[in-house]
A and B are shown apart, each in its own frame.
Chain A
Amino acid sequence: GAGVSQSPRYKVTKRGQDVALRCDPISGHVSLYWYRQALGQGPEFLTYFNYEAQQDKSGLPNDRFSAERPEGSISTLTIQRTEQRDSAMYRCASSLKLKTATFFGQGTRLTVV
């Protein structure tokens, strides 16, 4: 695609529900990243993939958060048993390979009520 595409753009969920956020990277991009951004701050790293392999998940806050990229293209970030503190903008990014221009999507605004 022309850019990194994320869906849904907005998600409101009840506390305790599971949510799945989708990211469709730029076609041909090997590396895919997930970040979380609070208002007024820069994005905070969560995890990243090269092809289908999750290389670093050190930024995932706890074991309720998981991510996958089974075929090396589309990725899903799943949050189980959501809590209000999970409310944030979740951003996906992709790059041709590591340490190259990295492009962000528009993000998914998650609100847990």
Chain B
Amino acid sequence: GESVGLHLPTLSVQEGDNSIINCAYSNSASDYFIWYKQESGKGPQFIIDIRSNMDKRQGQRVTVLLNKTVKHLSLQIAATQPGDSAVYFCAENNQGGKLIFGQGTELSVKP
């Protein structure tokens, strides 16, 4: 089912390190996934997407991995920068246009 969390998990990393943000999705029928970055006071910003016929997709400094067996999605950010500090949401789509969002993870980058 869908879960909504009130206490965001937090990931704290040192500037220059790689970050890995994880997401467990709920529906095995989901076939399209998106990662969003949301900074305080702003709307969710599209980062990268992946379809279920892929296991990995790379963008600029980011990589998304999809493991359908265990319904797990991860976002890897290389050489994390202070500007990467934000809340990151994964979203899954299994029917029509409805995206179901995960609870979000707050990434904090220490300079």
Contact = CB atoms under 8 A, between A and B. Distances in A.
Contacts of A91: 43-44
B96 A41 contact: no
A33 B44 CA distance: 13
Report the contact-size class of chain B (Cβ under 8 Å from the partner). 20 to 34
Interface residues of A, number: 28
A48 B100 CA distance: 13
Contacts, number: 67
Q: Which of B42, B97, B101 neighbours the largest number of chain A CB atoms within 10 Å of its CB? A: B97
Interface in B25-78: 31-32, 34, 36, 42-46, 49, 51
Given A91-B43, A99-B31, A104-B43, A42 B97 contact: no
Interface of B: 4-6, 8, 31-32, 34, 36, 42-46, 49, 51, 89, 91, 93, 96-104
